[in-house]
Each structure stands twice: as C-alpha cells, then as structure tokens.
Amino acid sequence: MGPALAIIGGILVLLLIIGVVAYNRFVSQKQQIKDAWANIDTELRRRYDLIPNLVETVRGYASHERATFEAVTQARAAATAATGSPASQAAAEGPLVAALRQLLAVAEAYPELKANQNFLALQSELANTEDRLQTSRRFYNANVRDYNQRVKQFPSGIVASMFGFKEEEFFEIEEALREAGAPQVSFAGDSPGVSFGGPAVPPTAPPAAQPETSGTPPPPPGTPDA
C-alpha cells in the first residue's frame, strides 16, 4: 500500500506542478497581450493627433472639399471614442482609413499643397505612424494566436477552464484596408506624395476659371485653317 500511495502522491504533485506552470504561463501571456495592445493604442492615438493638423493644412488649399473634411472629422471622432474590444476598435478604424485615403487623394490635385513643408512633414509622420502601427498589430496578433492555441489545447485548456482564461480577440482590419497597407511616400515627379496603396477615390476637382463660350471655339491644335 505504501508504494501505491507514493505513486499516487507523486502523480498529484506532478499534476500540481503542471497546473502551476500552466497557470503562470497564462498570466504571463495575458500580460504580453496587454502590453502589445498598449503599443497599438499608442500608435492609434498618435495618428488621431496628426489628423486635425493634416485636415487644416489641406483645408487651406481646398476649402471647398467640405464633405471630405467632415468625413475625416466624424470618422476620427468615432475611432477615438471606440474604447471597447480590439474587434470594435478595428471596425471603427475602417471608415477612418477610408476617409484619410480620400483626404490624401484631394491633395494630389493641388501641387502647391503637395510642396507645402508642413504638409510633407505631416505626411512623413503619418507614414511612420502607419508603419509602426502595422508592426504593433502583427506583434499583438502573434501573441493572441499563441495564447488562444493554449486555451484550446490539452492539458493547458483544463487550467484555462478552471481559472477563467478565455480566448482573446485579434485586431484585424478589413481585407480591403489590409491590402491597401500603410501609406507610402513617393518622391517621383515634381514633389513627394503619399497614398495608402490601391485605387484612391478621385477627389472633387478644384474650381477653375470657365472659358468664355461666346463666338466660335478655336480649332484643336494641328487642324488646318479652313
């Protein structure tokens, strides 16, 4: 009876050690996920801080693009107020990225704006912020993936069930926005520009002086005189 009790006792001690190790690892992983999310939040807040200055800079050259400015402002307010789960935060980021893409598309119609030093500095900082945000997002999702796998695996899943460790949400962007990627700074042409990749929505054409309609319109270049 003595050896049997020793074996049972040894098994119980082993299970206890496994349980403690599994529990401590879950705690560690939860903290890693929390820290990774803090990095995402930092980059999101930095982007939110850049947007008002970007809007005002573009407004100085394209004041008639009122609908675009309102869309960016409203999307920024919604994203800033989204303090729930990573999934809800990602859902709020979708309209904001789309509105930013439209705002930057507007700038393409204004060469003087594209050469504005303040605008170029904001573009560069926005591009850097997007790069850091994508890096933080990948790091966060990698931690969530490893944690969620352990929640569902055996025997760690038993410990997760006993102590209430549940699966965490990924921070995912809509597929179309992920394909767009981070804004890219291009130095081709006369002046730098930034785009989010993919087809941008064409901006509203800036107001231009209308040619006089009186009289016979001039013939196209190269047309011989009658």
Per the CB < 8 A criterion, the answer to whether 146 and 25 are in contact is no
Chain CA centroid to CA 105, Å: 18
Positions of the chain with pLDDT under 50: 175-226
Helices H / strands E in the chain, number of each: 7, 2
Per the CB < 8 A criterion, the answer to whether 160 and 150 are in contact is yes
pLDDT in tens, 16-61: 998 999 999 999 999 999 999 999 999 999 999 999 999 999 999 9
Per the CB < 8 A criterion, the answer to whether 159 and 19 are in contact is yes
What are the Cα distances from residue 192, in Å, to 13, 83, 101? 66, 35, 16
- The CATH code of domain 2-195 reads 1.20.1440.20
Per the CB < 8 A criterion, the answer to whether 98 and 72 are in contact is no
- d(C-alpha 166, C-alpha 30), whole Å: 10
- Per-residue pLDDT, 152: 94
pTM of this structure: 0.73
- Per-residue pLDDT, 70: 93
- Per-residue pLDDT, 6: 81
Phi, psi of 123 (to 5 degrees): -60, -45
The domains of the chain are located at 2-195
- Per-residue pLDDT, 188: 40
Query: In terms of Cα–Cα distance, which of 87, 115, 80 is closest to 193?
Result: 115
Helix (H, G, I), strand (E, B) or coil at 204: coil
